[in-house]
Amino acid sequence: MLNGRRILVGVTGGIAAYKTAELVRLLIKAGADVRVVMTSGGQEFITPLTMQALSGNPVHTHLLDTDAEAGMGHIELAKWADLVVIAPASADFIARISAGMANDLLTTLCLATEAPIALAPAMNQAMWKNRRTQRNIEALSDDPKLFIWGPADGEQACGDIGAGRMLEPEQLAGRVKGHFDHGFLHGKKVVITAGPTREAIDPVRYISNHSSGKMGYALAIAARDAGAQVELVSGPVAIPAPEGVETIYVSSASTMLEAAQNAVDKGCDIFIASAAVADYRPDEIQEQKIKKSQDKMVIELIKNPDIVATIAARKDRPFTVGFAAETQDVVAYAEGKLQRKKLDMIVANDVSDQRIGFNSENNEATVLWNGGCQSFSLQSKSLLAVNIMALIASRISS
Ligand code: PMT
């Protein structure tokens, strides 16, 4: 799958460096031409000799090395690469490329190359969470030719538990293949619901919620950037329609259901329900504005149709992904919804936390499917959307 692809693998200082040997082996097995560059920190964890044996090429370690420059000089190496993969990418390395430094061979190559760069962060969970690291990641996320693959959550070499583990070599090799496959969702049709619904009480009033649409719109952009054809069914929001995404505006749950069904009727591989759909609507919509006459009033509500469950129940069902907006026992309630609505996957987020969930720039989620789960620590909704789309793509192809 990677025949003739030229991949420059950068190894920086971290215990996960031993896994990079397996990544190089997998890339070679897939047909890639691999060159390895190691920082001095990287060489403390794994030897250049190992990487040379696995890649079948000399390993580059120094910027000012006359012998290496006489072979393939550093600028030539930067031009040679189709893709640069830094695995593991340490906190120090991330800080240095974020600052645009060129104080060793690998940072210099990252500045000199025009190839896309993928970083696979690996570090202690506290270092990953640290504001300065997050600021560096956020700055790098603005670069359209720079991807951040991971990190995963879990037990760490130091005994801590949390986000900071490097993605496994198989996952990284999968991302590399996906990258060259015209975007990992090339040829897929994705339908996404986003934003709130409004349930009319009378001509001037409605029941709604705090959804801004940011999460759903970020998913639509991530799916589009991964090569998919995307249709977005959006409740009323204040953000512009993403370029290159067919956006259908609706208001109530019933109109959202109708638009979602129409979109799926046209053919759909992946359906993602990120909209905050009102569970109930007024039984009757008053034709005229209700007058303020009594001290108390009762509005009778009836249940709305469940959009995601309706799509999941279709004979021609797409891969169906729901969201679970919870305020307590987040994962347990999400697991219940995964089973009850017969979904392929559910993204659980805690909407009681002001930093994440409704109308915030960031989110934190646990994604569940039958037989597995993956957690994503606090990150921008855009980055989370890319991670969710990549996870969906890997579940579809597994
Ligand atoms: O829009 P933002 O401000 O960015 O906020 C993002 C978000 C918090 C809205 C989003 O991350 C989120 O959690 N969306 C799901 C909100 C929700 O309605 O959750 P729920 O647990 O009540 O519903 C479970 C699932 O069923 C959801 O996929 C929902 O879209 C779907 N549903 C619910 C009711 C209904 N009648 N039809 C549905 O399809």
Q: Region 117-124: what's the mean pLDDT?
A: 97
**pLDDT reported for residue 82:** 93
- Identify the helix (H) or strand (E) that includes residue 40: helix 40-45
Per-residue model confidence as pLDDT tens digits over 293-309: 889 999 999 999 999 99
Q: What is the mean pLDDT of the chain?
A: 94
Is the shortest distance between the CB of 321 and ligand 1 below 6 Å?
A: no
Is the shortest distance between the CB of 279 and ligand 1 below 6 Å?
A: yes
Q: Region 30-47: what's the mean pLDDT?
A: 97
| Residue 198 pLDDT > 80 | yes
| Residue 9 pLDDT > 80 | yes
Least confident of 30-34, 196-200, 239-243, 315-319: 239-243
Domains, the chain, in order of start with CATH, read 6-180 (3.40.50.1950), 189-397 (3.40.50.10300)
CB contact set of 176 (below 8 Å; sequence gap of 6+) = 2, 5, 7, 27, 30, 32, 83, 85, 118
**pLDDT reported for residue 227:** 87
Is the shortest distance between the CB of 389 and ligand 1 below 6 Å?
A: no
Q: Region 353-382: what's the mean pLDDT?
A: 92
**Interval between CA 274 and ligand 1 midpoint (Å):** 5
| Residue 383 pLDDT > 90 | no
- Which atom of ligand 1 has the smallest separation from the CA of 209? 9
**pLDDT class for 31, splitting at 50, 70, 90?**
very high
**Interval between CA 277 and ligand 1 midpoint (Å):** 6
Q: Is the pTM of this model over 0.85?
A: no
Per-residue model confidence as pLDDT tens digits over 50-76: 999 999 999 999 988 877 777 778 888
Q: What region, left, alpha or beta, does residue 308 occupy, with left being phi > 0 and alpha being psi -120 to 50 degrees?
A: alpha
- Identify the helix (H) or strand (E) that includes residue 54: helix 48-55
Per-residue model confidence as pLDDT tens digits over 335-353: 999 999 999 999 999 999 9
Any bridge partners for residue 162, and if so which?
154
- CA gap 90, 107 in Å, rounded: 12
| Residue 328 pLDDT > 90 | yes
Protein residue with its CA nearest to atom 18 in ligand 1: 276
What percent of the chain is predicted at pLDDT more than 90? 80
| Residue 10 pLDDT > 90 | yes
Active site residues per annotation? 158
| Residue 398 pLDDT > 70 | no
